[in-house]
Amino acid sequence: MSEYQLWVIFDYECWKCHKKLKVALNVSRTLDDYFSNDEIGGGGGGRMFSDESIDPDIRKVLESHGCHLDIMYSKTVGGSYMANFCPYCNSIQGEYFLRDLYMELIYTGPLEYLLFKDRELIMSINADSLEDMRKKLNEYRNSN
């Protein structure tokens, strides 16, 4: 069975230095409701951050799209984990705030979604809304 992961990339303003940067989130779990009878969305776990590193192939693609990711220490969490960070001031961009903005952007866009199958990028989707992304993923699912 293939493992799918869906990542979203969007613009973000660093909380500390206020410079613009790109961030990435693994949103695979958000697809479960829409594709419950399909394997898309089954492999990502719905969280970006963990004690483990991102698969090196996926990380390379995310970084080629302008994201900055590394294992970093957080005082708030009290430990180290894989996180988005600001390349200008090296500050962690907290998952809670990223997810909060993502939940707003799914209605207004723009968002870039990257669909991976077995760690290989198979589709890049620029979407103005969650509905737009769902439509494009349905087209992909129906063509395969």
- Residue 46 in contact with residue 95, Cβ under 8 Å? no
Residue 114 identity: L
Question: pLDDT tens digits, the chain, 144 residues: what are they?
Answer: 457 888 999 999 999 999 999 999 988 765 544 454 443 333 333 455 554 568 899 999 999 999 999 988 888 888 888 899 999 999 999 888 888 888 888 888 888 999 888 889 999 989 888 788 888 888 887 887
86 in the Ramachandran plot: left (φ > 0), alpha (ψ -120 to 50) or beta? beta
**Cα Rg, the chain, nearest whole Å:** 15
Task: Give the pairing type, strands 4-13 and 111-117.
Answer: antiparallel
Question: What's the confidence (pLDDT) of residue 40?
Answer: 39
Question: What's the confidence (pLDDT) of residue 57?
Answer: 92
Question: What's the confidence (pLDDT) of residue 33?
Answer: 44
Q: How far apart are CA 85 and CA 71, in angstroms?
A: 10
